[in-house]
Chain A
């Protein structure tokens, strides 16, 4: 392979493999993983009882294997030995070398360890993601976070190192300090949450720094939360950089990333087996171009095997081949999480739509928060909106009306809009919680 083509992909052997071959490798790995899980993990020994790995020959066969739900992982760990990981662990505890956990947004956290080998695999899959996003050895990458027990930025840090980038960890600084450091070291790339990327740009502006003019950031990769397209475009505008998204989580690791085409995200095949099931039955496979729920199997992470993990994220598989030449499945993250889906006055509503409207049409909005409450029997949607401090009163009123109209057109629902003082809404660094459902019984 010539050098230029070699540099286009992290692994041209795999990334341009014909689809039939990719699927063949994935099915083989799926069988191996089933065998491993049945033999080594008490949880899967029970769950996969009666399933013979050798019988799994097609994607239809794969669909017969039971899905793994997050609640099952919690139950399998709680109060069981070995401490923390319980029945999920498929290696001896002495082999563990890395600890991560889920954020606990939807319940008790799930603990996810790795052996040295499985951690290196997690790092490897992120190399595909960073390379597709244009990260190269000449980059100096700034990561403005204390990574804590969450996986994404650890994966990103080690993968950037492996790619040959120089990594600057910016965890112990405040936002102003981080912006100064980015300028001081002339960082060329950022790993960020979309929310914090917006906030950093806001703080930079207050400091008299225009990131597009005064900083040297050429590319940014997003982690930690979904990034609707309008938010991605807003970040590109604010930073003057190419902004890329990726999809990942503690349980599966980072499993899809955006290429230079910036249209959808490539599943890191054949390291992952990706499936889509329909929203109604949560089991029936659906064709490309249809909205459904994503199901993922990390095929080579043997420490805690994860078979057909129900991500509960709504997505769509893109049908047409990608001009970048990668042959892997491309997915588009649309509609947010199944857990956030609500039926309000007969209309399906997902909070992700609010972000699409706000970030897409209202650059004057600095921060916002959606509330769902109940008045007698009627659900009420309200939106707290924080505008840029430079906006005058009459313009604010006009924007408020336009937001109400924009949301009505997009969602078919009427929102109560409340303008709040600049700086009064919370700013998030990692996972943002801009949707608050007060109708939920605690």
Chain B
């Protein structure tokens, strides 16, 4: 087959530029909006997802991690006594106030965990060690929030809930979905920072022994420890995500933006591909007059759309990758997991071919007698 589709695409450089710009714009728009949605969603449950725990023991009806209700730490021993429990540790995630050097206050979220355990620890440490948190006033914050908290370097001293707090390290990229940054510290420090009684905790994190049955252990804890709810990390993560993304309405706005991005992207692509097809309408009329079956004409149009999609996708992803990388230094993360990148390829292809199908409808109804007009 003579390379009609390829030539049609590359012949008019201005039209090609317009078409590809439309597709690239759509790809970037969709990636950014979906990436923001994924970024926000992932951020909301970051603490749960990175906790390393298999089960979370919380007070009854706790809807999400930030809404923990204190309960007696005596339940820790009850949990540890249950077969299949390899490790169980107290855990705090709770809001409190941070005093900046200039005297102003910021809301922060204290994350307290047992420094000697393997659960609930901070991740992506770029300065300092988790073990440094063993000292009474030690804290670790994320470098994203240095400016917000007035932190410039390790060793600086601040005030949290009227108590001394000393920065011993920094993490990178641990965002909070709310405006309150996470402050990692030892469980003991956390009790002081949030004003929790010594015999209380907000959560218990449970890690199972190798080979233990998750559901069995969960049922056992639920049956033997009173007034608690036992959630798998997956469940608690989902609950937290759903709360922030849908119950609060915050995520709905992001989701709506993502859906709008999809729609706008599709419309832009549809319009560009449609215009490209319309530019060649007379040629398609000639093809039909020459005796080409509709399927032959469709093939040309779809080939043209598919080529546009592939080039537009490659360029769009290059721009998107740049935007995603740049966003890592900002407060709102745009995430592009590989599944999204792959999905985006098929989405771009579908959008372009779908848009081509819209124009095919026009070509199908095209009167071949158009060839006799002028």
**Is this pair of chains taken from one and the same complex?**
no
Binding site for B on A (CB under 8 A): none
Binding site for A on B (CB under 8 A): none
